[in-house]
Amino acid sequence: MKIAIIGATGWIGSTLMNEALNRDHKVIAISRGAKNIEKQGVTTHPLDLLTDGSIKDAVADADIVIAAIGGRAKSNHEIVSSTAQRLLKELPKSDVKRLIWVGGAGSLEVAPGVKLVSVPDFPAEYKDEAIAQGQALDVFRNSDSTLDWLFVSPAAEIFPGERTGIYRVGGEQLLSDDQGNSKISVEDYAVALIDEAEKSQHHNKRIGVAY
Q: Kindly tell me if the per-residue pLDDT of 3 is higher than 80.
A: yes
Please check the confidence at residue 76 and state whether its pLDDT lies above 80.
Answer: no
For residue 179, pLDDT beyond 90:
yes
Confidence of residue 71 (pLDDT cuts 50, 70, 90): low
Does the CA dihedral 75-76-81-84 come out positive or negative? negative
C-beta separation of 15 from 209 below 8 A: no
**Model pLDDT, residue 74:** 59
Query: Cα separation of 116 and 90, whole Å?
Result: 31
**Alpha-carbon dihedral angle through residues 190, 146, 95, 193, given to the nearest 10 degrees:** 10
The pLDDT, as a whole number, for residue 50 is: 79
Q: Which pTM was predicted?
A: 0.95
Average pLDDT of the segment spanning 170-187: 96
pLDDT, tens digit, for every residue of 116-168? 999 999 999 999 999 999 999 999 999 999 999 999 999 999 999 999 999 99
Q: Is residue 26 a contact partner of residue 41, using CB atoms and an 8 Å limit?
A: yes
Can you give the pLDDT at residue 35?
Answer: 87
Coil, helix or strand at residue 114:
strand
Distance CA 56, CA 96 (A): 9
Tell me how long the chain is.
211
Q: Is the pLDDT of residue 100 over 90?
A: yes
With beta carbons less than 8 A apart as the criterion, state whether 29 and 9 touch: yes
Angular region, 75: left φ>0, alpha ψ -120 to 50, beta rest: left
Phi/psi of residue 56, nearest 5 degrees: -60, -45
pLDDT band at residue 175, thresholds of 50, 70 and 90?
very high
Instruction: Kindly tell me if the per-residue pLDDT of 191 is higher than 90.
Output: yes
- The yes-or-no verdict on residue 182 having pLDDT over 70 is yes
The residues facing 206 across adjacent strands are: 151
Question: What are the pLDDT digits (tens) for 40-57?
Answer: 999 999 998 877 689 999
Q: In what order do the strands lie in the sheet with 64-67?
A: 42-46, 26-31, 2-6, 64-67, 98-102, 148-153, 205-210, 168-170
* Pairing of β 26-31 and β 98-102: unpaired
CATH number for 2-210: choose from 3.40.50.720, 3.30.460.10, 3.40.1160.10, 3.30.360.10.
Answer: 3.40.50.720
